[in-house]
Amino acid sequence: MANAKDEKEKFALVTGGSRGIGRAICEQLAKDLDYQILINYNSNKKAAEETLRLVEASGGKGELIQFNVADGENVKTALEAWYENNKNGVVEVLVNNAGITKDGLFMWMPPEDWSNVINTSLNGFYNVTNALIQKLLVNKYGRIINMVSVSGLKGTPGQTNYSAAKGAVIGATKALAQEVAKRNVTVNAVAPGFIKTDMTSELNEAELKKMVPANRFGKPEEVAHLVSFLASSKSSYITGEIININGGIYS
């Protein structure tokens, strides 16, 4: 007779899954791994529904879950309600992808542009991961993948807030990985460089790609393939790592 653990419905939660890299990750996980995809969004339900359609078109299953990662109470309430409605469900993979930018020179940076970026990228990591970590440890299996950035590794002028937030998540990734490794839970970070998404659409691609040894911007799918590998059982001996995917711009 199969034990109860084998019968659990397994899920992968992707925060900020409605667009860009988040959408590509949802789609790739659905293609590669045997997980139902929990697509988190904050306000853009239409975009999240399009992600769900793509997940289903690639043969996967998924559902939407709305919460604002920056709001700890909102996160807790939403995830508790989800677990209440999915008694047989277990989130085994968490991709902390939600993030925002509010670029500007530090000297003129208003407090809200500092706080909003920190609250989404750094406190968002805390709020969602903290709400799920106990269940991952009890489950004795889990994959936590934090989306960081080349900005968090080398610092980017005009992005002191974003560089600070992502740099902090890098430190947290390394520390948490050591705390939970014995329970077969890995914690890694993926640090993209310039990737073609809504977030980079305002940038001067023709000029910036000259800085990239590969001489082009990356594609969201390229990032998604890396995340998918880290979310799989194949990556079980990789933890506490920050993996660059940036065309050689910074290694």
Taking the C-alpha atoms of residue 21 and residue 133, their distance in angstroms, rounded to an integer, is 24
Q: Give the start-end residues of each E strand in the chain.
A: 9-14, 36-41, 62-66, 89-96, 142-147, 185-192, 242-245
Contact 15, 22 (CB under 8 A): yes
Taking the C-alpha atoms of residue 42 and residue 40, their distance in angstroms, rounded to an integer, is 7
Tokens representing 80 are 């508790």
Alpha-carbon distances of 67 from 37, 73, 143, rounded to whole Å: 15, 10, 21
If 0-12 CB within 10 Å is exposed, 13-18 middle and 19+ buried, where does residue 158 land? middle
Query: Which of these, 131, 161, 137, 134, lies nearest to 149 by C-alpha position?
Result: 161
Would you give the distance in Å from CA 108 to the centre of its chain?
Answer: 29
Contact 167, 150 (CB under 8 A): no
Q: Which of 126, 162, 237, 250 is catalytic?
A: 162
Known catalytic residue: 126?
no
Q: Which positions are annotated as active-site residues? A: 162
